[in-house]
Amino acid sequence: MPQTAALARVSPYLLLTATILFWALNWITGRALRDDVPSYSLAFWRWVSASLLLLPFAWPHLVRGWPAMRRSWRIMLALGVLGTTFCNLASYTGLKYTTAVSGSILNSFVPVIIIAISWAFLGQRLRASQWAGVAISLAGVLSIVGRGDPMVILSLSLNVGDLWIFASMLLWALYTVCLRWRPPDLHPLALLGANAIVGVAAMLPVYLWSLAQGLHITWTAGAVAGLAYVGVFPSVVGYIFWNNAVARVGPNKAGMFMHLMPVFASLLAIAFLGERLHLFHVAGMAMILGGIWLTSRTDNPEAVAGMEN
């Protein structure tokens, strides 16, 4: 997608901030629509809308990249299913049962999961400071999941929504790690377009099953606005802004802006959903971000910029 002269005149840091705001609002929208839009429907129609908007721009790149994608069909299938289908279904399902504050803060743990997967399966070596970062971040996650009470963890009285969010984090981390095996020189729009198409195709049976179970959308003005929002801003506009800014400031600087997402999402959830920020949220966020700072002192920008959106 070509950079327009108008977009090139906008500060890349403003574009990054707007992108994080769009992605933070995705968490708010998912939580706000929990009673009117089933999670399967929200995930499905988000990516149907995004696919229709993206295809006019992505089609030339999809055509040029088709031979490479066909040769690497297994990894392309895995990327679409992990990053679009299962990840979105898990996160939106989680938001039916847990707060947007908890979900967005927990999601900031993703860079640590990426590093842990790279160590376990790819042989990436970790320094002592990075191991300390993993431990500190994990303590922050347990603080939030346990609501500040160790007995919640010990008794396994966990919020099912937090478990769904953790599943979505693991799926997104796997997706991010698998990106290293994507076809070389594949245009980003071809990758996103292919992910969207594969994701929608894989979600279709689940969506049809949900309809057969009587899980239908309650059509309200809020539901229409929410569905339109998730299909346009976090999925398409945010992507355009993000890539424009990354091309101008680099992935490392851009990745640091991801740490604003739990902050934005928490403030928005308090303002618009009436949620409360508890001490265990603050403590958990501090530990997770501190751990990320320790673990991301590496040459791998994927670990910094790997949060789900």
Of residues 4 and 285, more confidence is placed in 285
Per-domain residue ranges of the chain: 5-303
Minimum mean pLDDT among 15-19, 52-56, 247-251: which range?
Answer: 247-251
What pLDDT is stored for residue 307 in this prediction? 61
Give the mean pLDDT of 193-208.
97
What pLDDT is stored for residue 302 in this prediction? 53
Instruction: Kindly indicate the confidence band of residue 300, based on its pLDDT and cuts at 50, 70 and 90.
Output: low
DSSP string, 203-234: HHHHHHHHHHTT------HHHHHHHHHHHHII
Question: Could you tell me the two tokens for 114?
Answer: 């990426």
Question: Could you tell me the two tokens for 229?
Answer: 């929002």
Question: Could you tell me the two tokens for 183?
Answer: 């076809």
Question: Does 3 score more than 70 pLDDT?
Answer: no
Exposed / middle / buried, residue 124 (Cβ in 10 Å: 0-12, 13-18, 19+): middle
What pLDDT is stored for residue 5 in this prediction? 65
What pLDDT is stored for residue 305 in this prediction? 52
Of residues 2 and 220, more confidence is placed in 220
Considering the chain, what is the average pLDDT of its residues? Answer: 89
Question: Does 211 score more than 70 pLDDT?
Answer: yes
- Over residues 72-81, the pLDDT tens digits come to 999 999 999 9
C-alpha distance from residue 105 to each of 165, 197, 267, 288 (Å): 10, 29, 12, 8
What pLDDT is stored for residue 2 in this prediction? 47
Of residues 296 and 98, more confidence is placed in 98
| Rounded-to-integer distance, Cα 150 and Cα 115, Å | 26
Q: Is 194 helix (H, G, I), strand (E, B) or coil?
A: helix
pTM of the model: 0.89
Instruction: Kindly indicate the confidence band of residue 1, based on its pLDDT and cuts at 50, 70 and 90.
Output: very low
Instruction: Kindly indicate the confidence band of residue 201, based on its pLDDT and cuts at 50, 70 and 90.
Output: very high
Instruction: Kindly indicate the confidence band of residue 244, based on its pLDDT and cuts at 50, 70 and 90.
Output: confident
Nearest to 143 by CA among 117, 119, 170, 108: 108
- Over residues 137-170, the pLDDT tens digits come to 888 888 898 888 888 777 777 889 999 999 999 9
Give the mean pLDDT of 196-207.
97
What pLDDT is stored for residue 252 in this prediction? 66
- Over residues 26-70, the pLDDT tens digits come to 999 999 999 999 999 999 999 999 999 999 999 999 999 999 999
Instruction: Kindly indicate the confidence band of residue 207, based on its pLDDT and cuts at 50, 70 and 90.
Output: very high
Handedness of CA 225, 231, 237, 239 (dihedral sign): positive
Question: Could you tell me the two tokens for 123?
Answer: 């042989």
